């Protein structure tokens, strides 16, 4: 970016700056300089402060942890008012008996109020960007009216609910329209065994949804696949080849879907991010809780599969990447958000208060960020 004018710069200094950049740099006594809506400098406090001696203002973080704002890659903002209406049921009952009747009776005012409430809860856990599935009558009209509005903060993607209520024509025309408009597609994929069984029975293929989507040439790098639980090894390969991005929603998966092969996808090179899903499939909207759950359930899954424990399965550093830079990549916005780097946009940053436990630590590691905190922490 162009050299920042010192008297237009704000410097946040004296904090533990977790950059989430390519080198995963962490500055124990770090600083971030902000000019307008862009980051002007990141580094040791002494270096950044000396680079901007005439800064308009400085903020002493007093040892607090400074992170990029978290990215929630799968949420249903219109479902916030439905918290608690669909507990302890299978997915098909959840959809047909609870959620679709609820959504079919919503007014625009209901949806607006639900979205505001959802946003409040997401912000509380440090989320600065979400990817939400909504299904209006004309998605092209929605794109033309709202895409790149609010100073570029709103981007419109196309939403496909799932393969079970999408024809081949709808799938392929959506693929082509998204490519023409240079936008993305957000779709629930491979959620439950019944979905795969239905696709195998009706499409005459040997596995399920991902196999069929690959067969019809639907998979693309602008596809964000929500959940992606019931995939086999060749289908993970299809995702990698097409550069499909995945949103892993641990709480929702445990309630309704099953164990997603997250480690296998990450090991293969697939970009896996994190989402909360909607309130009725989670009953809370904290991305920090999702990070915590992702760490734990994937360790448990590994022990079940291999017959032995592996505490390094999905380590804290990986989960933090999933909630930040991988989330930005999943929504095709990593050139501007997801990490603290010069030239990237300034978005709300997750500042976590230091605690007594940190005082005795010789080094800061990301496990200390994830595990002492939860959505119940008022800070």
CATH number of 70-330: 3.20.20.140
What average pLDDT does the structure give for the chain? 87
- Which sign, positive or negative, has the C-alpha torsion 174, 277, 94, 221? positive
How high is the pLDDT of residue 249? 95
What digits encode the pLDDT tens for the residues 100-117?
888 888 898 998 998 898
State mean pLDDT over 35-45. 94
Q: Could you tell me the pLDDT band of residue 134, with boundaries at 50, 70 and 90? A: low
How high is the pLDDT of residue 238? 98
Report the alpha-carbon distance of residue 339 to residue 129 in Å, rounded. Answer: 13
285 pLDDT higher than 80: yes
How high is the pLDDT of residue 81? 83
Mention every residue, 6+ apart, whose C-beta is less than 8 A from residue 312.
Answer: none
Least confident of 29-38, 167-176, 283-292, 334-343: 283-292
Q: Could you tell me the pLDDT band of residue 17, with boundaries at 50, 70 and 90? A: very high
How high is the pLDDT of residue 353? 60
CATH number of 6-68+339-370: 2.30.40.10
Distances, alpha carbon 327 to alpha carbons 119, 211, 290, in Å:
17, 25, 13
Task: Say if pTM beats, i.e. exceeds, 0.75.
Answer: yes
362 pLDDT higher than 80: no
State mean pLDDT over 343-356. 69
46 pLDDT higher than 80: yes
How high is the pLDDT of residue 352? 67
Q: Find the farthest-apart pair of alpha carbons in the chain and give their distance in angstroms, rounded.
A: 69
What digits encode the pLDDT tens for the residues 240-253?
999 999 999 999 99
- Decide if 29 contacts 364 (C-beta within 8 A): no
Domain boundaries, the chain: 6-68+339-370, 70-330
What digits encode the pLDDT tens for the residues 193-211?
999 999 999 999 999 999 9
What digits encode the pLDDT tens for the residues 71-83?
999 998 888 888 8
Least confident of 12-26, 154-168, 349-363: 349-363
Tell the burial category of 145 from Cβ atoms under 10 Å away from its Cβ (0-12, 13-18, 19+). exposed
């Amino acid at each position: 970016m162009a050299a920042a004018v010192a008297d237009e710069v704000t410097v946040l200094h004296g904090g533990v700056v977790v950059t989430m950049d390519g080198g995963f740099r962490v500055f124990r006594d770090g600083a971030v300089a902000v000019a307008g809506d862009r980051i002007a400098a990141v580094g040791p406090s002494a270096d950044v402060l000396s680079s901007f001696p005439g800064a308009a203002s400085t903020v002493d973080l007093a040892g607090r942890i400074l992170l990029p704002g978290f990215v929630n890659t799968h949420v249903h903002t219109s479902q916030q008012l439905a918290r608690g209406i669909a507990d302890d049921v299978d997915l098909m009952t959840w959809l047909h008996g609870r959620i679709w009747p609820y959504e079919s009776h919503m007014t625009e005012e209901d949806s607006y109020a639900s979205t505001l409430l959802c946003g409040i809860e997401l912000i509380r856990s440090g989320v600065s960007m979400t990817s939400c599935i909504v299904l209006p009558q004309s998605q092209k009209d929605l794109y033309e009216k709202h895409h790149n509005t609010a100073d570029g903060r709103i981007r419109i993607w196309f939403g496909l609910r799932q393969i079970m209520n999408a024809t081949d024509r709808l799938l392929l025309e959506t693929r082509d329209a998204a490519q023409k408009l240079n936008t993305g597609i957000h779709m629930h994929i491979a959620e439950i065994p019944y979905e795969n069984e239905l696709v195998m029975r009706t499409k005459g293929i040997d596995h399920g949804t991902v196999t069929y989507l690959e067969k019809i040439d639907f998979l693309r790098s602008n596809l964000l696949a929500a959940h992606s639980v019931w995939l086999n090894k060749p289908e993970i390969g299809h995702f990698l080849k097409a550069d499909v991005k995945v949103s892993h929603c641990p709480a929702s998966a445990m309630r309704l879907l099953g164990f997603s092969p997250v480690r296998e996808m990450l090991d293969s090179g697939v970009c896996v991010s994190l989402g909360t899903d909607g309130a009725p499939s989670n009953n809370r909207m904290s991305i920090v809780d999702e990070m915590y759950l992702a760490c734990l359930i994937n360790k448990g899954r590994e022990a079940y599969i291999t017959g032995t424990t592996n505490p390094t399965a999905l380590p804290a550093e990986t989960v933090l990447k999933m909630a930040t830079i991988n989330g930005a990549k999943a929504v095709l916005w990593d050139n501007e958000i997801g990490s603290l780097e010069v030239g990237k946009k300034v978005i709300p940053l997750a500042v976590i208060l230091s605690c007594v436990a940190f005082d005795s630590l010789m080094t800061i590691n990301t496990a200390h960020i994830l595990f002492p905190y939860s959505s119940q922490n008022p800070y």
